[in-house]
Amino acid sequence: MAIRSNHYEAAFEAYVRALRVPCVAVDEAKRAIFGDGGVKNPDFLLYPRFAENLVVEVKGKRARDRRGRRDWENWVTTDDLDGLVRWGELFGPGFRPILAFAYAEAVQEFGLPRHAGAFEFRGLAYRFWAVGLDDYLAHLRSRGPAWKAVAMARRAFRRRVRPLSEWLPMLAESPQRPKPVKERER
């Protein structure tokens, strides 16, 4: 199952469930064996009604930088990408690997109206965006080999990333939008 202590993954799962998209949280405790070594498991498998099934890696990021601006941080590890590529190949046609970014920020007391796209969960406001693995791989840059991290240039990322709800159409006419839900503190 997903790491429930990771608030980004927990918020992602709550959001997907609010949309009523069938999903499976993948057990991250053990790596699957492929060939000589293990491969990182995806975080979720999603089954939207009117779209391709999705193999999802969730990456949590802060929504704003120190100056209060949205900076579209989108770095991931090469291990994340390798796992998504391999799982995408294993599942084959009908499954599309994506990177889902969960951007969290404090709930603004006098901020945007609740219907402005934020999903409240455990006292934070989350916005979920996703990009296809193929687009990400075509535009990535190294953040340094020692970190084993890569990122898409922010300009390319902003042109290609879409709200997660657009990847999850559950109605034939249009994607269903979740109503913001406030979960009780556990």
Structure tokens at 6: 């990771």
* Whole-number pLDDT of residue 71: 73
Distance between CA atoms of 156 and 121, rounded to whole angstroms?
A: 29
pLDDT of 174 strictly over 50: no
Range of the domain at 100: 7-167
- Tens of pLDDT, residue by residue over 63-115, are 766 666 667 889 999 999 999 999 999 999 999 999 999 999 887 765 555 54
Q: For residue 91, tell me if it sits in a domain.
A: yes
Domain count, the chain: 1
Distance between CA atoms of 11 and 5, rounded to whole angstroms?
A: 10
| pLDDT classification of 185: cutoffs 50, 70, 90 | very low
Nearest to 126 by CA among 171, 166, 66, 183: 183
The mean pLDDT value for 152-167 works out to 92
Distance between CA atoms of 132 and 57, rounded to whole angstroms?
A: 11
Q: For residue 153, tell me if it sits in a domain.
A: yes
Q: For residue 36, tell me if it sits in a domain.
A: yes
Distance between CA atoms of 85 and 90, rounded to whole angstroms?
A: 9
The mean pLDDT value for 158-167 works out to 93
CATH number for 114: 3.40.1350.10
Q: For residue 181, tell me if it sits in a domain.
A: no
Average pLDDT, the chain: 82
pLDDT of 164 strictly over 80: yes
Q: For residue 1, tell me if it sits in a domain.
A: no
Q: For residue 186, tell me if it sits in a domain.
A: no
* Whole-number pLDDT of residue 36: 61
Around Cβ 184, how many Cβ atoms within 10 Å? 5
Q: For residue 54, tell me if it sits in a domain.
A: yes
**Site of tokens 């006098």:** 110
Q: CA 95 → CA 34, 75, 87, 99, distances in Å?
A: 19, 23, 9, 13
pTM (2 decimals)?
A: 0.82
**Site of tokens 């601006």:** 69
Q: For residue 139, tell me if it sits in a domain.
A: yes
